[in-house]
Structure 1
Amino acid sequence: MREGSFRFAVVQSVLLAAVAVAVALTYHLPLRDPDGVSVPTYIRLPVILLITFLTDVVPRAVHRAGSVRAVPSTFVAVVRERWPRDHVRFALVGLGAWYLTYVAFRNLKSYVPFVNGRLWDDTLARIDRALWFGHNPAAVLHDVLGTGVSAHVLSFFYVAWIVLVPASLVVALVWSRNVRAGEWFVTAVAVDWVLGVATYFLVPTLGPVYADPRTFAGLPTTWVSGLQETMIAERFDVLVDPFDSPAVQTIAAFASLHVGICVTTCLMAVLLGMRRWIQALLWAFLAVTVVATVYLGWHYFADTIGGAVIGAAGVLIAAWGTGNHVRGVPRLSRPEVEEPQTVRAEPR
């Protein structure tokens, strides 16, 4: 397999997109740009690409230039060093496969209530009580942590996850030159989405905050509570008339992909031998995410277990799909490529 080819991720993205189109045609549902309500994709993606490109090149050019006059020539030299044709192809193909998977995932998630109308919230609530020895895990966390400052802190960390995914993609596709590791990680996140949307169809759920709102009525108003209100309103709009609403339906509790993608990131950090302090921060972030997702009512505790399984499976399947394994055991197949030699502009 060609290094950094994203062959597995591309095939997977095309297949998932085909499934999304098939479901849309079968159930007479629209295909949407999931984030098009805010900023259209044809504007958003080029802006993201430009910003990430500049963050990779400009600091290096300024650092190496030595003088203001030398910045332009150093900038050109750094671009040639950091962005040869192979890496441009790597970044664009990786981003394209990732984004196609994401769009298909978001559309399929929106179709769940039209395909499978059964809800499993009562069953998952009973499982939670069994796992927590007869107690509601969210209520226990409210009693232990309180419902004041803790709600705002956990809301912050929950929202911070939204930044984690694009930031990790920037590292994998733009800043790093370890293309084997980058391909493995981006593919693993995409696999998480495929497995996650499959569980949405198999076990449709709303989540505790919608199925049992009284448990969360005592929490203060936070950014998360506002988001929860927006999401349920969008769900109602989509269910009433999916063609009239420009939004997509985004409510599905089992399994928790917040937890799943965090687990994937943590395991990748370990398998890639990243520095211990980075690994420790990622595992700590995972722990806080698990607490936040239950405390704020997004997910049942059982959802977090399912998410962890998906996160681990994503790493394993992506390892097989990208060739990063030894006899089936995940392992980076090639050592990290050394950084190119420093380019410094000649003084004029």
Structure 2
Amino acid sequence: MRRWPYTFAVVLSLITGATAIVATLALDVTLKDPEGFLGPAYVRLPVMGLGFFALGIVPQALKRFGFKGFWGGMRTIVREEWTWRRAGYIATGLLCFYVSYVGYRNLKSLLPLIREDVIYDTDFLRIDHWLAFGNNPAELLHAALGTTVMAQVLAFIYVSYLPLIPVTLAAFLVLNRDVSIGAWYATALCLNWVLGTVSYYIFPTLGPAFAQPSMFLDLPDTGVTALQQSLFKNGVIFKSDPTGETIYGIAGFASLHVSVTLTAALFFHHIGLKPALRYIAWAYFVLTVVATLYFGWHYILDDFAGAFIAWASVTIGALVTGNFRQRRPFFRRRKDPAPDPQPTPAA
């Protein structure tokens, strides 16, 4: 089991899921499955996995066997390249991600019930002003970038994160034959959910947009403003009736948008992905950081904490899946000791 690349992820997801179940039972709150695009997570993850499975074999079947031999060619490719072991690894990665994510969302939802009397927004706002030399970071960005075109661009970047991460996970699990690579990415994402949940309870904050919404009234209507309004509405409903079906989703420290996008960028670099894809990942991460401050989702310290979570998740993920000492960028392989000199044969 120690050599199985999913051992750590399975144990972590089981602990996270069990903690969420125990906490919801103790507080008499219903355990909820958070919904997203394509419906609940237990629907969209298998759908994405099957989609990438088709993407992996359909072009190959057409290239090797043509249209006439397409169906028989697909069966041949499945027999040659797809084993129950490989399918089991893919299912394990998706299941670990799903259980960890559902546990994270439910534990996050319990935050106002467990830490209702402690909010650190005033302290974080003061630190923001100090780091920005007496200014508000969001107002500086509004002045520098404007509140028209860039607002729409940054809103698209921020909202696109929601489907993008599970899509990339499904792609690496299905399309990569090295199962330890998919296990590494799945483990790192699971760690993001767990470490992010811990950070929420250490320093509970709402974020500038919810603590001081007046600073963001001049921004145009975007997907981000609609999301913030929805979260605020759900937060009010949840606090009035925690036993209902609404899930609470407001938490500032740390920024998991930053942590997860940086996790993806670091991971792409470590595995030596094509330069164009790595550059896109890094650009996406930088724009995400800007968006978190621009729209008031997070304070500066939230983003720094998110960056630390990303580094810790990728590093621990590499260690527990056997990838740390592989020949990949940023991870140096330990040099083997020099062989003992051979004795000189006697004359």
TM-score of the pair, normalised by structure 2: 0.89
- Cα distance in 1 for partners of 2:257, 2:36 equals 22
Counterparts of 2:219 and 2:139 in 1: how far apart (Å)?
Answer: 11
Deviation at 1:93, TM superposition (A): 0.9
Residue matched to 1:263: 262
The answer to whether 1:178 aligns with 2:178 is yes
The amino acid that maps onto 1:301 is: I
Name structure 1 gaps, 5 residues minimum.
334-348
Counterpart of 2:60 in structure 1 is 60
Quote the offset at 1:39 in angstroms.
2.9
What number of residue pairs does the alignment pair up? 330
| Counterpart for residue 94 of structure 2 | 95
> SS of the counterpart of 2:298?
coil
| Amino-acid identity (%) | 39
* Matched letter for residue 74 of structure 2: F
* 8 Å Cα contact 2:255-2:305 kept in structure 1: yes
Provide the secondary structure at the position in 2 that maps to 1:29: coil
Indicate conservation of the 8 Å contact 1:324/1:332, yes or no. no
Q: Is the radius of gyration larger for structure 1 or structure 2?
A: 2
The offset of 1:34, in angstroms, is: 1.2
Q: Per-residue deviation at 1:189? A: 0.9
- Measure, in 1, the Cα distance between the counterparts of 2:136 and 2:92: 45
Residue deviations 1:246-293 (CA, integer Å, cap 9, x gap): 221111111001110111112112221222222222111111110011
The residue number in structure 2 matching 1:198 is 198
Equivalent-residue separation in structure 1 for 2:332 and 2:78 (angstroms):
27
- Check conservation: 1:110, 1:249, Cα contact below 8 A: yes
1:318 aligns with 2:317: yes
Instruction: Show the 5 A alignment for 1:266-305.
Output: 266-305=265-304
Structure 1 residues 51-72: Cα deviation after superposition (integer angstroms, max 9, x where no partner) = 2322222222222222x22101
CA drift of 1:42 comes to 5.3
Q: Is the 8 A contact 1:155 1:223 kept in 2?
A: yes
Residue 186 to residue 332, structure 1, CA distance change in 2 (3 Å): farther
CA 1:87–1:104 in structure 2 vs 1: closer, same or farther (change >3 Å)? Answer: same
2:42–2:98: 8 Å Cα contact kept in structure 1?
A: no
- CA–CA separation in structure 1 for the residues paired with 2:332 and 2:89: 18
Contact 1:258 1:289 (8 Å CA) reproduced: yes
Which runs of structure 2 are paired with 1:34-45 in the superposition (5 Å)?
34-35=34-35, 39-40=39-40, 43-45=43-45
CA–CA distance in structure 2, aligned partners of residues 36 and 273 of structure 1: 31
Question: Which residue of structure 2 lines up, in the alignment, with residue 344 of structure 1?
Answer: none
Q: CA offset at residue 11 of structure 1?
A: 0.2
Check the 8 A contact 1:200/1:253 in 2, yes or no.
Answer: yes
Paired with 1:86 and 1:193, the residues of 2 have a C-alpha distance of 27
Q: Secondary structure at the match of 2:249?
A: coil
Partners of 1:172 and 1:183 within 8 A in 2: no
Q: Classify 1:127/1:30 alpha carbon distance in 2 versus 1 (closer, same or farther; 3 Å).
A: same
5 Å-filtered alignment, 1:117-196, equals 117=116, 118-196=118-196
Distance in 1 (alpha carbons) for counterparts of 2:252 and 2:188:
20
- The offset of 1:204, in angstroms, is 1.0
1:76 equivalent in structure 2: 75
TM-score by structure 1 length? Answer: 0.89
Question: For 2:261 and 2:40, how far apart are their aligned partners in 1?
Answer: 27
2:50 counterpart SS class: helix
1:16 aligns with 16
Mapped partners of 1:81, 1:219: distance in 2: 55
CA contact (8 A) 2:94 2:170 kept: no
Post-superposition shift, 1:133?
Answer: 0.9
Alpha carbons of structure 1 residues 191 and 137: separation in structure 2 relative to 1, 3 Å: same
Amino acid in structure 1 at the alignment position of 2:299: Y
The letter for the 1-side match of 2:256 is: L
- Whole-angstrom CA distance in 1 between matches of 2:226 and 2:4: 41
Contact persistence 1:3–1:180 (CA under 8 A): no
Seen in structure 2, the aligned counterparts of structure 1 residues 248 and 319 have a Cα distance that, compared at 3 Å, is same
Q: 1:206 to 1:96 in 2, by over 3 A?
A: same
Deviations 1:132-153 (A, max 9, x none): 1111000000000011111101
Q: Distance in 2 between matches of 1:239 and 1:52?
A: 40
Cα deviation, residue 22, structure 1: 1.9
Distance 1:73 1:7 in 2: 37
Q: Is the 8 A contact 1:109 1:250 kept in 2?
A: yes
Change (3 A) 1:19 1:50: same
Could you say which residue in structure 2 is the equivalent of 1:341? none
